[in-house]
Structure 1
Amino acid sequence: MVLNKIEKLIEKYENGETTLKEEAKLKDYFSQETVAPHLQHYKAMFNYFSFNQQETFTKQLPLKTKTKFNYKWLSVAAVIALMVGFYFNQNETITEQDKQDYEKAKSYLQLVSQTLNKGTKQVEYLTAINQAGKQVNYLKEMNNPIERIYK
Structure 2
Amino acid sequence: MVSTAKARAAEPGTAKVRATTPHITKPHITKPRATKPRATKPRAALAGALVALVAVAATGCSVDAKNADPAVKTFAFSGRTLDVKTHEIPADLVAADRKDVKVTRWFEAKSGSEHLRWELKDGTLDLEAGCSGIAICDARFKVEVPRGVTVLRDGEPTKLRGRG
The TM-score range, normalised by the shorter chain, is under 0.3
TM-score, reference length from structure 2: 0.22
TM-score, reference length from structure 1: 0.24
Q: Which has the higher helix share?
A: 1
Q: Which has the larger radius of gyration?
A: 1
Q: Which has the higher strand share?
A: 2
